[in-house]
Structure 1
Amino acid sequence: MPIRIPGELPALSVLSDENIFVMDDQRAIHQDIRPLEVGILNLMPNKIETEVQILRLLSNTPLQINIDLIRIDSQAPKNTPAAHMDTFYHQFEDIEHKKYDGLIVTGAPLALLDYEDVKYWPKMQQVMDWAKKHVQSTMFLCWAAHAAMYHFFGVNRALREDKLSGVYPHDVYQPTDELMRGFDGRFFAPHSRFGHIAVQDYQNAGLNILAGSEEVGAYIAASHDKRMVFVTGHPEYDPETLDQEYRRDLAADLNPAIPLHYYPDDDPTQTPLVTWRAHGTLLYTNWLNYYVYQVTPFDLTTLA
Structure 2
Amino acid sequence: MPIRIPDSLPAANILRQENIFIMPASRAEHQDIRPLRVLILNLMPKKIETETQLLRLLSNSALQIDVELLRIDDRPSKNTPKEHLDAFYRSFEEVKDNCYDGFIITGAPLGQIAFEEVLYWERMQTIMEWSRSHVTSTMFLCWAAHAALHHFYDLLRHLREEKLSGVYEHQVRQAAKAHPLLRGFDEYFFAPHSRYAEVRVSAIDNHPELEVLVDSEIAGLYLVGSKDGRQFFVTGHPEYDPNTIDDEYRRDIAAGIEPQIPENYYAKDDPNNPYKVTWRSHGNLLFTNWLNYHVYQLTPFDLNEANLAALSQQHAESI
Q: Which residue of 2 aligns with 1:92?
A: 92
Give the secondary-structure state (helix, strand or coil) at the position aligned to 1:300.
coil
1:190 aligns with 2:195: no
User: Match for 2:47: what amino acid?
Assistant: K
How far apart, CA to CA, are the structure 1 residues paired with 2:117 and 2:73? 14
Match for 1:65: what amino acid? I
Q: Which runs of 5+ in 1 are unaligned?
A: none
Q: Distance in 2 between matches of 1:25 and 1:290?
A: 25
What letter corresponds to residue 20 of structure 1 in structure 2? I
Instruction: Name the aligned partner's letter for residue 250 of structure 2.
Output: R
Shift of 1:203: 2.2
Aligned equivalents of 1:62, 1:31: Cα separation in 2: 15
User: What CA distance in whole angstroms lies between the structure 2 residues aligned with 1:72 and 1:111?
Assistant: 17
Partner of 1:282: 285
Counterpart position of 1:201:
203
Distance 1:23 1:213 in 2: 38
Q: 2:215 is matched with which residue?
A: 212
Report percent identity of matched pairs.
59
CA contact (8 A) 1:76 1:85 kept: no
SS of 2:127 mapped into structure 1: helix
Supply the distance in 2 between the matched residues of 1:107 and 1:277 (Cα, whole angstroms).
18
Q: Answer whether contact 1:70 1:89 (CA < 8 A) is retained.
A: yes
Q: SS at the partner of 2:277?
A: coil
Letter in 1 for 2:20: I
Please name the residue that 2:248 is paired with: 245
Mean Cα deviation higher: 242-251 or 152-161? 152-161
CA distance in 2 between partners of 1:226 and 1:42 (Å): 22
Matched ranges for 1:85-234 at <5 A: 85-173=85-173, 174-205=176-207, 206-234=209-237
Equivalent-residue separation in structure 2 for 1:251 and 1:261 (angstroms): 22
Look up the match of 2:313.
none
Aligned residue identity for 2:13? S
Partner residue, 1:29: 29
State the superposition RMSD in angstroms: 0.7
- SS of the aligned residue for 1:211 comes to strand
Gaps of 5+ in 2: 310-319
2:312 is aligned to: none
Give 1:38's aligned residue.
38
Distance 1:152 1:277 in 2: 30
Q: Aligned-pair distance for 1:142?
A: 0.2
Q: Distance in 1 between matches of 2:269 and 2:168?
A: 13
CA distance in 2 between partners of 1:92 and 1:40 (Å):
11
**Paired letter, 1:272:** Y
- AA of the residue aligned to 1:181: R
Q: Out of 236-245 and 151-160, give the one that drifted further.
A: 151-160
Asked if residue 15 in structure 1 is aligned to residue 15 in structure 2, the reply is yes
Residue 315 (structure 2) aligns with: none
Q: What code does the residue aligned with 1:121 have?
A: W
- Secondary structure class of the residue paired with 1:270: coil
* Deviation per residue, 1:135-182 (Å, 9 max, x gap): 000000000000001101111200001000000000011110011100
Structure 1: how far apart are the matches of 2:200 and 2:287?
24
Match for 2:261: what amino acid?
Answer: I
User: 1:67 is aligned with what amino acid?
Assistant: V
Measured after TM superposition, the shift of residue 204 of structure 1 is: 2.6
Deviates more, 1:23-32 or 1:121-130: 23-32
Counterpart residue type for residue 2 of structure 1: P
Distance 1:11 1:149 in 2: 30
Structure 2 Cα separation of the partners of residues 171 and 77 of structure 1: 38
Give 1:24 deviation, angstroms: 1.3
Deviations for 1:250-282, whole angstroms, at most 9, x for unmatched residues?
001101000000001100001100000000000
TM-score (norm 1): 0.99
Give the Cα–Cα distance (whole angstroms) in 2 for the partners of residues 97 and 202 of structure 1.
Answer: 32
Could you tell me which residue of structure 1 aligns to residue 260 of structure 2? 257
- Report the equivalent of 2:57: 57
Encode CA deviations 1:226-250: one digit per residue, 9 max, x unaligned.
Answer: 1100000000000000000000000
How far has the Cα of 1:76 moved from its partner?
Answer: 2.1
Displacement over 3 Å in runs of 4+: none
Separation in structure 2 between the aligned mates of residue 44 and residue 148 of structure 1, nearest angstrom? 16
* Per-residue CA distance 1:106-134 (angstroms, 9 max, x = gap): 00000111101100000000000000000
Cα distance in structure 2, aligned partners of 1:261 and 1:194? 18
* Aligned counterpart, 2:316: none
Secondary structure in 2 matching 1:221:
strand
| Alpha-carbon distance, 1:79 to partner | 0.5
